[in-house]
Homo-oligomer: A and B are copies of this chain.
Amino acid sequence: MTKTLAIGPYGEADRAALQTSFDPVFLSSPAEISGLEAARRAEVTAAAFMGHAAFGGAEMDLLPNLGLIANYGVGYDAIDVAAADARGLKVTNTPGVLNDDVADLAVAMLIMVGREMEQASAWARSGSWAQTGPYRLNRKISGGRAGIVGLGRIGREIADRLAAFKMEIHYFARAEKDTPGWTWHADPVSLAAVADYLIVALVGGAETEKFVSRKVIDALGPRGILVNISRGSTVDEPALLDALEDGRIAGAGLDVFLNEPNIDPRFYALENVVIQPHQGSGTVETRAAMGQLQRDNVAAFHDGRALITPVN
C-alpha cells in the first residue's frame, strides 16, 4: 500500500529519511520491479531512483500508474528519458548541490597528477626520502592552459577555481557562453590542441559517448593531462589507455570509468593515473542535500505541486 518505490543502494541516512517521508518499498535495482505483485505495482506513482543500473521502458511498463522518476544525482543517463517522455513520465535530478564537491575533486586530481603527489607520498612513506635524497622534480600546474569540455554548472565551478590558479581558461560548449574572458572552442580537437589540461565535465548518455575521442586525446599531446569527473562513457577509454601506456599524454585523473566499479585492469599498471572510485559528490554534506532534493521532488509530485528540478 505505497505510492513510492525507493530503488538503489541507499545509505542509512537516506533510507531512514525516505522511510519517514514515504514509507516506500525498497528495491536494490530496477530489475527487481518485476518481482512485485501486479496489484502493488499498480499503486506506485513515483520512484526515487539511485544508481547506475538501467531504468528503461520495460521497467516503466511494469508500473502502469508511474508519473515520476526522481533521480538521486545530477547525471540521469541510467534513465531512458526518451522512453519516459513517450509514456508521459516526468524525470527529476539533483543539480546544483553537488557542483562544489565535484569541482574540488577535479582540481585536486589535476594537481595530484602534475605534482606526482601519490608517488611522492608512497616514496616518502617507503623511507626513500631519508635514504636517497630529494624526490624528483615534477611540473608546475598553476599558470597552465585549462580546457574545460562542457561548461555547464560543474564545468563552470571547475573553471572558476582554475582561474584562481592563474590559468588561461578555454572551453568547449555547443554555443559560446557569457564568461569572464574565457575562450570558446566550437570543436574539442581545437580545444585539446591548445590545452595543457583537459577537464571533462559533460553530461553522460548516448549523445556524448566517446566525445573525447582518440583524435581529441592525440591533440592533447605528450604534455597533456586529462581529468574526467563526468561519466566513463564520455571518453574513448581504450584510446585513453593506449595514450597513457605509450606516453602520448602525460597523465590522467579519473573519477569515472567505463565499466565501473569493474574498471579496466590496465589502469592499475599505470603510475601516471590518479584513480578515484566515483566519489565526486561523495561527501556527507552533499549527499544529504542530494537526498533532500530528491525527496522534495517526490513530495512535490505527490502533493500535485510543481517539480523543483525537472529534466523533461
Question: Could you tell me the distance in whole angstroms from the C-beta of A13 to the nearest C-beta in chain B?
Answer: 9
A139 partner residues in chain B, CB cutoff 8 A: 283-285
**With A9-B134, A164-B164: A121-B275 Cβ-Cβ less than 8 Å:** yes
Is there a chain B Cβ closer than 8 Å to A181's Cβ?
no
> Which of B108, B111, B133 sits near A115, CB closer than 8 Å?
B108
A109 to B20, CA, bound (A): 39
A263 partner residues in chain B, CB cutoff 8 A: 124, 129-130
A123 partner residues in chain B, CB cutoff 8 A: 277
A279 to B138, CA, bound (A): 9
User: Nearest residue in B to A133 (C-beta to C-beta)?
Assistant: B9
A274 partner residues in chain B, CB cutoff 8 A: 117, 121
Is there a chain B Cβ closer than 8 Å to A118's Cβ?
yes
A101 partner residues in chain B, CB cutoff 8 A: 115, 140-142
> Which of B11, B163, B282 sits near A164, CB closer than 8 Å?
B163
* Contact of B134 with A283 in the complex, beta carbons under 8 Å: no
* Contact of A121 with B120 in the complex, beta carbons under 8 Å: no
User: Nearest residue in B to A51 (C-beta to C-beta)?
Assistant: B134
* Contact of A115 with B283 in the complex, beta carbons under 8 Å: yes
User: Nearest residue in B to A161 (C-beta to C-beta)?
Assistant: B164
Question: Could you tell me the distance in whole angstroms from the C-beta of A239 to the nearest C-beta in chain B?
Answer: 21
> Which of B121, B137, B165 sits near A118, CB closer than 8 Å?
B121
* Contact of A129 with B286 in the complex, beta carbons under 8 Å: no
Interface string of A1-20 (1 = CB under 8 A from B): 00000000101000000000
* Contact of A286 with B164 in the complex, beta carbons under 8 Å: no
A117 to B140, CA, bound (A): 21
* Contact of A129 with B277 in the complex, beta carbons under 8 Å: yes
A283 to B11, CA, bound (A): 42
Within 8 A of B (CB), among A158-192: 160-161, 163-166
* Contact of B112 with A142 in the complex, beta carbons under 8 Å: no
* Contact of A135 with B260 in the complex, beta carbons under 8 Å: no
Within 8 A of B (CB), among A1-52: 9, 11
**With A164-B164, A285-B139: A134-B278 Cβ-Cβ less than 8 Å:** yes
* Contact of B100 with A143 in the complex, beta carbons under 8 Å: yes
29 CB contacts below 8 A, A to B, read A100-B166, A101-B115, A101-B142, A104-B140, A104-B141, A105-B117, A107-B107, A108-B112, A108-B117, A112-B112, A115-B279, A117-B274, A121-B274, A121-B276, A124-B263, A125-B268, A125-B275, A129-B260, A129-B261, A134-B279, A134-B282, A135-B279, A136-B282, A137-B283, A137-B284, A138-B282, A138-B283, A139-B285, A161-B164
Q: Which residues of A contact B (CB under 8 A)?
A: 9, 11, 100-101, 103-105, 107-109, 111-112, 115, 117-118, 120-121, 123-125, 129-130, 133-143, 160-161, 163-166, 260-263, 268, 274-279, 282-287
